[in-house]
Amino acid sequence: MAQISRYQVILMLVWVVLGTGILTMPGTIAQFTVHDAWMGASFLLLGGGLSAGVAWLHVRLFPGLTLTQAVRAAFGPWIGRFLAVWLCLWLLITTATVGREMSAFVTVATLPNTAEYLVGAAAFACVAYLVYLGIEVVGRVNEFIMPLVLVIVPLLFVLALRWFDVAAFQPVWAEGFTPIWRSGIVPAFAYGLEFVVALQWVPALRTPRTLPLDILIASAVSSLILTVLVVETVGVVGWPVKYMNYPVLEVVRAIRLGKLIERLDTVYAMGVVAILVLKLSAIHLSLCRALQDVCGTQDARWAVLPAAFAVWAASYFLFRNTAGVTAFILSVVPGYFLVTAIFLPLVSYAAAWLRRRPWRRTAAGRL
Amino acid sequence: MNGVVGVGLALLCGVLQWRFLLRAEEPGAKTARLVWCVLMGAGMVAAFVAGRQDFPSLHPLGWLETVFTPLTRWLYEVG
């Protein structure tokens, strides 16, 4: 079986968070606080820590198994299969949400005359092809895009600093801790818990036991990048950041050098689309692996096309418009992810531990 | 139009995977075929419904909102 290195796992996890993080995170955080928005992104570490804790338990109790296999092993064929289907639904809804965010962004930013569902179909065709080629190919594409990002992102960051105003962050801590905590809910419980999708890749990891540490590293890197991004966005845009769907796009649009260099938002849009395809591929990999576990087949390739098709259709069926997506992420996703990505695995591990408990073995030995 | 594109894509997937749909005999193939049909069927219905004008009357994620919004609200309030 193809295996991926720790470096590839960390990159995949970083893009899983940053895919939509660089698109909507500053605007989401600014819904609750603008002066102290720079603190909101650091709450991602909380979600990353919770995900790392679940991964730590997983690789010790179920080494070499995916999350869906672990759930089935813990609860048996019937309840286990029902919970595995619940996990499949979670992955499907998550992918549909990201897919809709992507097609809406492309339609707004670059292709206003193209139907959104056609943009989505093109994106999911790329995702299906990547996933069909396997996890190793997805990992390598993640590696390939890294040098491009390392050149483009710092360049855009430095060029936009010209309009940066520190006054947007003053006074510090003026409204107390509550708005800061509220601004950190989505980074912590929506983005931070997305790291749990990596549990579906465990059989394909070269060193599964280091997965918790890899999740912590990925969450620290993502948190740092997002904090810088939020600081720059709020510093450049100021208070209007609250009312923008894509504030980072506006920051990039503001960049002008002389009379010739402007409209660098095209570069940003291309980067966002590439990263979103990688994010969708990573979660789609997990979904296909979950479907494989539910059906008990030896391969997951048969699930790639039908799952991509279902996710594409669901992204337009589940959400009427981008406002619906935003409302879902703000008011449902934190609770939904907390139960599905943290409580459900923890209950499964507890059930598995109770089944294997030492006093039960002793009693069986006496008999 | 969304529905027409949906049916076209579903047919394309069927053609691309005809070998799996008709001949696969590995363990779990029957369940996999059933899941394949469920995903494709649900996808086609969803594509058709999403393309209709009266789509706003539907609220497919309402059940998730009912269950998880109170917990999310508690998370916001606990700070």
The torsion of the CA quartet A290, A295, A301, A303, rounded to 10 degrees, works out to -70
CATH of span A6-355? 1.20.1740.10
Identify the bridge partners of residue A4 per DSSP, sorted by sequence position.
A205
The residue ranges of every structural domain in chain A are: 6-355
Under an 8 A CB cutoff, do B46 and A338 touch? no
Distance CA A354, CA A35 (A): 48
**How many A×B Cβ pairs under 8 Å?**
136
Distance CA A106, CA A111 (A): 6
Cβ atoms of A98 and A20 within 8 Å: the answer is yes
- Closest chain A C-alpha to B23 CA, distance in angstroms: 12
Interface of A with B (CB under 8 A): 93, 115, 117-118, 121, 177-178, 180-182, 185, 189, 291, 294-299, 302-303, 305-307, 309-310, 312-314, 316-320, 328, 330-336, 338-339
- Residue of B68, B69, B73, B78 to mutate, interface with A, max A Cβ within 10 Å: B68
The residue ranges of every structural domain in chain B are: 2-78
Taking alpha carbons only, the member of A321, A52, A330, A34 closest to residue A187 is A330
Walk along chain A (367 residues) and give the pLDDT tens digit of each residue. Answer: 678 999 999 999 999 999 999 998 999 999 999 999 999 999 999 999 999 999 999 999 999 999 999 999 999 889 999 999 999 999 999 999 999 999 999 999 889 999 999 999 999 999 999 999 999 999 999 999 888 888 888 888 888 888 899 998 888 888 889 999 999 999 999 999 999 999 999 999 999 999 999 999 999 999 999 999 999 999 999 989 989 889 999 999 888 888 777 888 888 899 999 999 999 999 999 999 999 999 999 889 999 999 999 999 999 999 988 899 999 999 999 999 999 999 999 999 999 998 877 665 555 555 4
Under an 8 A CB cutoff, do A117 and B65 touch? no
Using a CB-CB distance cutoff of 8 angstroms, which residues of chain A are in contact with residue B69? 331-332, 335
Taking alpha carbons only, the member of B39, B55, B54, B53 closest to residue B6 is B39
DSSP state of A261: B
3-state secondary structure of A62: coil
What's at A133, amino acid-wise? Answer: L
Query: What number is the ipTM of this complex?
Result: 0.91
Distance CA B17, CA A365 (A): 51
